[in-house]
Amino acid sequence: MTAALVLIPARLAASRLPRKPLADICGKPMIVRVLEQALNADIGPVAVACDDKDIAEAVRDNGGTAVMTRPDHASGSDRIHEAAELLDPERKHEFILNVQGDVPLIAPEAIRAAFAPLSNPEVAIGTIATELDPAFRDDPTFVKAIITPNGQGHHRALYFTRATAPSGDGPLHHHIGIYAYRRTALADFVRLPPSPLEMREKLEQLRALEAGMRIDVSMIDSAPMDVNTPEDLARARAAYQSL
């Protein structure tokens, strides 16, 4: 496969952690920490797609690339689609990889794992999951991926849900919202209206499945820590201090 254009959507507004992308983690803003991990994945150029000049300045001050996007996007997918058109109008990159802006400890290997399923030309979107800690089986904030082996070293996604599923013996799988898109699939996706199951479960990826897009999943060893609250931020700082 050719390289991917890696994009990190970031918006300044956050109810639980104000100005979250700019939160300091051991001397650097969180968005810069994510940018560094994405660069370490070494699968292509990396840029932050943001809605505020303060984020753009923080990224550029640390040697990164930032592109300003509209402030009214409904989702990160819409934001990275605009950014891809701005950064790569000639469409040199066939693949677009969306890395969340609140995972400062995301492993480069996890980013590469999301890209891997696109080696199969039938796959429209690649993503990642890990085995779910049984303590969180019934927690709706942990999204479960209902998957089956695809015979090529990854899994095909059949459904995503906040419910405890599937039933029966065996592990559940925690979906991690990092996506690698074929460029054409991303363009198709953002043109689609929100779908019934997407609105019911409040899971954007169900829009793609309902439209018939194939999503395949790579398994990784553990979920990256995401930062949504001051308590999460304290844990991320402690983790960086221990590196």
* Location of structure tokens 């019911």: 200
DSSP 66: E
* Location of structure tokens 């999943």: 217
Report yes or no on 19 lying in a domain. Answer: yes
pLDDT computed for residue 14 by the predictor: 76
Report yes or no on 8 lying in a domain. Answer: yes
Report yes or no on 44 lying in a domain. Answer: yes
pLDDT computed for residue 238 by the predictor: 96
Distance CA 15, CA 122 (A): 39
Answer positive or negative: Cα dihedral of 144, 146, 149, 153.
negative
Coil, helix or strand at residue 48: strand
Is beta strand 4-10 parallel, antiparallel or unpaired with respect to 46-50? parallel
Higher pLDDT, 14 or 99: 99
pLDDT tens by residue, 131-167: 999 999 999 999 999 999 999 999 999 999 999 999 9
Report yes or no on 51 lying in a domain. Answer: yes
Report yes or no on 117 lying in a domain. Answer: yes
Is the link from the previous residue into 166 a cis peptide, with omega within 30 of 0? yes
For the chain, how many structural domains are there in total?
1
pLDDT at residue 26 tops 80:
yes
Report yes or no on 87 lying in a domain. Answer: yes
Residues 6+ apart with CB under 8 A from 189: 77, 125, 181, 207, 208, 211, 213
pLDDT at residue 1 tops 70:
no
Report yes or no on 242 lying in a domain. Answer: no
pLDDT computed for residue 5 by the predictor: 97
Report yes or no on 243 lying in a domain. Answer: no
pLDDT tens by residue, 87-108: 999 999 999 999 999 999 999 9
Q: What is the mean pLDDT of the chain?
A: 96
pLDDT computed for residue 166 by the predictor: 97
The helix-helix angle for 230-241 and 30-41 (nearest 10°) equals 50
Q: How much of the chain exceeds pLDDT 70, in percent?
A: 99
Contact 124, 157 (CB under 8 A): no
pLDDT tens by residue, 43-56: 999 999 999 999 99
Residues 6+ apart with CB under 8 A from 217: 117, 126, 127, 128, 129, 145, 147, 154, 155, 156, 157, 173, 175
Q: Show the domain range for 199.
A: 4-236
| CATH label of the domain that carries residue 220 | 3.90.550.10
Helix extents (H) in the chain: 30-41, 53-61, 76-87, 108-115, 183-191, 196-201, 205-210, 230-241
